[in-house]
Amino acid sequence: MRTGLEGRTALVTGASRGIGLATAAALAAEGCNVVLTSRRQQALDAVAEELRQAYPKSGFLAKAAHVGEKDQAEACVAAAVAEFGSVDVLVNNAGTNPYFGPMVDLDVSRAEKTVQVNQLSIVLWTQAVWHASMAASGGAIVNIASVGGLVTEPGIGYYNATKAAVIHLTRQFAAELAPKVRVNGIAPGIVRTKLAQALWENNEELINQHTPLGRIGEPADIANAIVFLAGQTSSWMTGQTLVVDGGSLIRHSFLG
């Protein structure tokens, strides 16, 4: 089935590596123009050039921005609209986890940083694309949550709390922005990214054994699901969060 994404413009936060980079490539492969944003312009420029070589029919714009700063989000979206005329797809992918440990010992500064990047950014970038483009021309938004937002886990409880908030923000924005804009989310399991490296680097064999599909995720697994939610093949879906985790969550439930 055709996704209907050819000629559309997608903006991806956290696009310089991991799931964000894989998503930018997957959207470009569908014929999208892609706006790449993360904190470091040099890294973005290198990624943009790599993607231009691989997908010469797509346009690329690299624009550094701190995902949790309102003025920077608005400036990036304005640059995207100036370059391509609209933003048709927003992928809220950027995330952070600066603290590992029990929540009773969590300090305020790292708690605030986690909320700013993982939770507040969803609001800021959704507002920016709505007011700059989507209120007039519609679009699709995909938010990256986590299976951790659906369960309890040691060590990353506060990160998971912010991802649970992403799941609710997905529903809330879907209700508020319909029918102009569809808003859906993805809850990945453990994926081979730098952000999740501490979870899988020394435990991959054990994780594979406890995952029904026998392996941890790759960034492309999530990128493919994002393309589905961004395109017309999911045109009657909004407010939903897809779990893409190799079956780990059903095993968690099975084991109690």
CATH number for the domain that contains residue 182: 3.40.50.720
Task: Report whether pLDDT(8) > 70.
Answer: yes
Q: What percent of the chain has pLDDT over 70?
A: 95
Residue 35 lies in a domain: yes
Residue 2 lies in a domain: no
Task: Report whether pLDDT(201) > 90.
Answer: no
List of residues 6+ apart from 221 with CB closer than 8 A:
188, 191, 244
Q: In this predicted structure, what is the pLDDT of residue 211?
A: 85
Residue 212 lies in a domain: yes
pLDDT band at 205 (very low <50, low <70, confident <90, very high): confident
Can you give the residue range of the structural domain that contains 106?
9-255
Mean pLDDT of 106-110: 98
Task: Report whether pLDDT(65) > 80.
Answer: yes
Mean pLDDT of 74-90: 98
Catalytic member of 55, 99, 158, 159: 159
Residue 1 lies in a domain: no
The strand pair at 60-62 and 139-144 is best described as: unpaired
Helix 108-115 to helix 157-177 angle, to the nearest 10 degrees?
A: 30
- The per-residue pLDDT of the chain, averaged, comes to 94
Q: In this predicted model, which residue has the larger pLDDT, 253 or 150?
A: 150
Q: In this predicted structure, what is the pLDDT of residue 200?
A: 57
pLDDT band at 207 (very low <50, low <70, confident <90, very high): confident
Task: Report whether pLDDT(97) > 80.
Answer: yes
Mean pLDDT of 155-173: 97
pLDDT tens across 219-250, in order?
999 999 999 999 999 999 999 999 999 998 88
Single pTM value for the model = 0.95
pLDDT band at 253 (very low <50, low <70, confident <90, very high): low
Residue 19 lies in a domain: yes
Q: In this predicted structure, what is the pLDDT of residue 202?
A: 76
Note if 158 is an active site residue: no
Task: Report whether pLDDT(203) > 90.
Answer: no
Q: In this predicted structure, what is the pLDDT of residue 4?
A: 95
Domain count of the fold of the chain:
1
Residue 202 lies in a domain: yes
Q: In this predicted structure, what is the pLDDT of residue 204?
A: 75
Task: Report whether pLDDT(91) > 60.
Answer: yes
Q: In this predicted structure, what is the pLDDT of residue 195?
A: 74
Task: Report whether pLDDT(197) > 80.
Answer: no
Residue 141 lies in a domain: yes
pLDDT tens across 17-58, in order?
999 999 999 999 999 999 999 999 999 999 999 999 999 999
Residue 3 lies in a domain: no
DSSP secondary structure string, the chain? ---S-TT-EEEEESTTSHHHHHHHHHHHHTT-EEEEE-S-HHHHHHHHHHHHHH-TTS-EEE----TT-HHHHHHHHHHHHHHHS---EEEE--------S-GGG--HHHHHHHHIIIIIHHHHHHHHHIIIIIHHH-EEEEEE--GGGGS--SS-HHHHHHHHHHHHHHHHHHHHHTTTEEEEEEEE-SBSSSTTHHHHTTTHHHHHHTSTTSS-B-HHHHHHHHHHHHSGGGTT--S-EEEESTTHHHHHHHH-
